[in-house]
Chain A
Amino acid sequence: MTKSNKAAYLAPFILLGPVLIFVAAFYLVPLVQLLGGSFSIGGEWTLDGYRQTLSQAAFVRIFFRTLTLSIIVTIICLLIGYPLAYQLSKVKGRAAAFLLLLVSLPYMTSVLIRTYAWVIILAPNGVVNKTLLGAGLIQDPLDLVFNTFGVYVGMVQIQLPLMVFPLYAAMMRVDRSLTDAAANLGSNPVSAFLHAFAPLTAPGIVGGCTLVFLSCLGFYVTPALLGGAGDYMLAQGITVRVTALADFVGATTQSVILLSIVIAMLIIFRSTLAPDTGEDRSTKKLTAKNGTGLTRYPDVVESLRCRIHPFARSLSEALAVIRTPLLWATTVLAFIFLLVPLLVIFPLAFSSASYLTFPPPGYSLRWFNTFISNDIWLRAAWFSIQTCLLASFFAVALSVPAAYAIVRQRAPARIAIYILLISPIVLPHVVLALGLYFFLGKIGLLGTKTGFVIAYTIVGIPYALIAVVGGLRQLDASLERAAQSLGATPITAFRTVTLPLLLPSLLSAIFFSFIMAFDDVILGLFLGGPSSVPLSVRMWEDIKQEISPQVSVVAVIFFAALAAAYLVHQLLSLRTPAVGHSSKDD
């Protein structure tokens, strides 16, 4: 092997090394320990933990409630998300960018804040009930929250963006001239959609549903706050076992059961979750099934088909007429549903009342003053900012070389590595939290800043990696080659060409990994100590005690910071003039 051959062979390992070592140490080892721990009680290998857990009626009930709830939320999200994504995919240019930003805004907003907003809207004395009572439509307030209905509303609103993004991406990949061709061949718009468009968006449907379902499984804040007393989900069950009952065996086995569902789903749907690592999707070749290449239906189906056809045809003709208003109505309602919880926060933050009431009787800065003058709030905020910022820098620093190896060096097993690195997105935080709780406890980092930075880095790596991989793939590889042919060493080429062009992606990477760490509650509950309380946990405790306008102040400050970050991002992106190819000719 020649010298340059060896260097080219080793490069991916050097680039992937740091992130893999970090993830192995602080992610895989804790999870494996958790797995091992679930099979041992007092140092002996046994299945008793599972026997115990599975024989508890309460666990079985919670387990199936979690599954049903997750499936139903996924279906509702698909039903709302598909038409929404479809309308979005037809919008072009600046308007499209703006609408996508509106959809992603809730995703960037803390789950806590959104859940809190739903209480304000749905409570017996909330916005909806007040409006209906005022209009004389109902005599008594409706029970809209603190029951299963409330949980559905809150979870669908939180998960909807997660469904829309993969659907939107899949729809943008579909060649629109296919539906024109279908129309030309005799399809009305509805049938063209059903036969020539919808089947091609299948990867987006599978991807969106997988993401939504998996992240529903681990939900904690929303069911705990919007659900009724009996509406426990798995994550709550596990947390209660640790914090209230000190039943570590039960918590461990339940976590491992949750973990195994997630791993199974990851393996089944791995191809839909790794669409952007540079694999050619068309390699999955379609092969002819029989000699003629025509589908043959059984006679029963065939006669039925012939009989329904005229009916189906007129139904779809009728649908074609009303489809545009129907789609727009769904889209507008979906946007209202997504954005209203964010909007009620603002007036509330400036409320002059000493208790929660909406709309506020008057406006003042009193809640801002209590926030600024309260040492506990400020300390928590400072703690969160420090740890999340550090963690997001680490996450990006580890992700950049890894992304480079995955996209440019075509590292061996890159798909598997990519899936491993983004898997913390779908792993319920409660599982990670429990794993890290044992692990950090053993090495004495529980309740420390370092412990939090480690945990938040694991949470941030997937978002950083997705952003950087996306950015690198947009960047023409021949730019780096050009730099090298002009005399730049690979490192100089990276510094002078790749890095400046990647800057917007790096900023998004820092931004998203920061937000996701900042939003976490469960890790904070498990890993915190007296001197290490993140802001999210502080808010959580405040909301649980009494719903006051205090949290909306935090939300408004958070939005202001978000807007500032967005502006900085835009300004820095503008400095790079028109990145991309101009295909203009003379």
Chain B
Amino acid sequence: MSVSNLTMRYGSMVALDNVTLDVAEGEFLALLGPSGSGKSTILMNIAGFNIPSAGEIRIGSEVVTDKPPHKRGIGMVFQRYALFPHLTVAENIAYPLRRRGWKQKVIADEVERVLELVDLGAYGARYPAQLSGGQQQRIAVARAIVFKPSVLLMDEPLGALDRKLRQQLQLEIKRLHRTIGCTIIFVTHDQEEALSMADRVAVMRGGRIEQIGDPTCLYERPATDFVADFIGETNFIEVAAKEITNGSAVVTFPGFEQGQSVPTAKSTIAGGKNRLGVRPEHFAVSTERQGLKAVLLEKAYAGETTTLLVETEFGELKVRLPSNELCSGIEHGSEIHLVPDMKKSRYFVA
């Protein structure tokens, strides 16, 4: 399915700004972004609940922009599930099949099939209020897939659940995706969730798609400082670059005798705020007392790794080191030397 040049305005506010998106059949795409970035608005447009100000939505080769929601045949899992409280679990799942005028016998078989699929075979006769949050979530998924839609939309479907349960259901949804093979568009504001579940992630900001790509690409080669900051953590260090050639910026940095080349997405240097982005785990402590001078301000142990907050000539930086002897030897107020891994860092031109 595809979305092209989608624009959505509410008065003077632009909720979606010329968004174009292609989703391959069977793909699992996550829309990731802070609240107000437009990710849910895209979903509501695809489902037909919002009418775009401009642009086109296609499913397969068919243009559906003007179709009402009930004729689109898209499955949707709502934020708070939207299970019908006055119908039993089985009747909830049967709802789309009854609207399509299926035979009673077939409906019964299909309901049983999807209930088994989500591991809640014995729960058909219950009412939604008698289920736990996790079970309600699974029923919402079952109801959305029972009529075999080609596209399944999920609007922060795990947002209301606690962390443990969320992780378990993430795996279940991935498994389900493999089993039924339909296209899934999944909205979330949790970057970890997006990276761990999706084939591709579209990072959204202010009604636009900032970058779209597979999780590794987004993490290792963020196109903008926003993506670098939103996905994982990044230290931004203001250093000037001499020039950009072949996708690399040449940067001088304390501890390196000559200019180092750092990958970048831009081809020229603009006059604005140019910054070097280094992730906390891409710093190493130099044993030869070479590199960027840093004084330890605070240290936080987190099992396998330890995060240090240090003061440098570029301001405060975050550094993540393996929790080994070298790391535990660094004391409060002691001076260390840091060397960034320039190959894994990125240079951002504003």
A and B from one complex: yes
Tell me the A residues contacting B by CB distance below 8 Å: 2-5, 8, 476, 478-479, 481-490, 492-493, 496-497, 500-501, 576-586
**Contact in complex: B68, A479 (CB < 8 Å):** no
A487-B70, A497-B86, A581-B80 known; 12 new pairs, CB 8 Å cut-off, are A482-B83, A484-B69, A484-B70, A485-B70, A485-B72, A486-B99, A582-B131, A582-B136, A583-B133, A585-B165, A586-B132, A586-B161
Asked if B26 CB lies within 8 Å of chain A CBs, one says: no
Residues of B within 8 A of A582 (CB): 128-131, 133, 136
Q: Give the residues in chain B near A484, CB-CB below 8 Å.
A: 48-49, 68-70
Q: Pick the contact of A576 from B65, B73, B83, B85 — CB < 8 Å?
A: B85
Within 8 A of A (CB), among B197-216: none
> A492, B99: Cβ atoms under 8 Å?
yes
Residues of B135-169 at the interface with A, using a CB-CB cut-off of 8 Å, are 135-136, 143-144, 147, 160-162, 165
The residue on A at minimum CB distance from B49 is A481
Q: Is the beta-carbon distance between A490 and B68 smaller than 8 angstroms?
A: yes
- Separation in Å of the A485 CB from the closest CB of chain B? 4
Interface centre among A479, A489, A490 (most CB of B within 10 A): A479
| Range class of the B interface residue count | 35 or more
Q: Are A586 and B133 in contact (CB under 8 A)?
A: yes
| CB of B84 closer than 8 Å to a CB of A | yes
User: In the complex, A576 Cα to B85 Cα: how many Å?
Assistant: 8
Select the residue from B65, B69, B84 with max chain A CB neighbours within 10 A. B69
Name B66's contact: one of A4, A479, A490, A492 (CB within 8 Å): A4
Q: Which residues of B contact A (CB under 8 A)?
A: 47-49, 51, 65-70, 72-76, 78-80, 82-86, 95-96, 99-100, 127-136, 143-144, 147, 160-162, 165
* A483 contact set on B, CB distance < 8 A: 84, 95
**Cα(A578)–Cα(B136), bound, Å:** 14
Q: How far is the CB of B166 from chain A (nearest CB, A)?
A: 10
Establish whether residues A3 and B66, one from each chain, have CB atoms under 8 Å apart when the complex forms: yes
Ranked 7 nearest A-B pairs via Cβ: A486-B96, A578-B129, A482-B82, A487-B99, A484-B69, A585-B133, A478-B82
Q: Is the CB of B51 within 8 A of A2?
A: yes
Q: Which of A8, A486, A489, A496 has the most CB of B within 10 A?
A: A486
In the bound complex, do residue B85 and residue A501 qualify as a contact, i.e. CB atoms below 8 Å apart?
yes
Listed A/B pairs (8) with beta-carbon separation below 8 Å: A4-B67, A478-B82, A482-B84, A486-B95, A501-B84, A582-B133, A583-B160, A586-B133
Contact status B85-A580, CB under 8 Å: yes
- Docked-complex contact B66 and A2, CB < 8 angstroms: yes
Chain A residues with CB under 8 A of B162: 585-586
Q: Which residues of B are found within 8 Å of A586, using beta-carbon distances?
A: 132-135, 161-162, 165
Tell me the nearest residue of chain B to A3, going by C-beta.
Answer: B66
Residue of B nearest to A7 (CB): B68
Whole-angstrom CA separation of A482 from B82 in the bound complex: 6
Once the chains bind, are A585 and B132 in contact (CB under 8 Å)?
Answer: yes
- Max chain A C-beta neighbours (<10 A), residue from B48, B99, B128, B136: B99
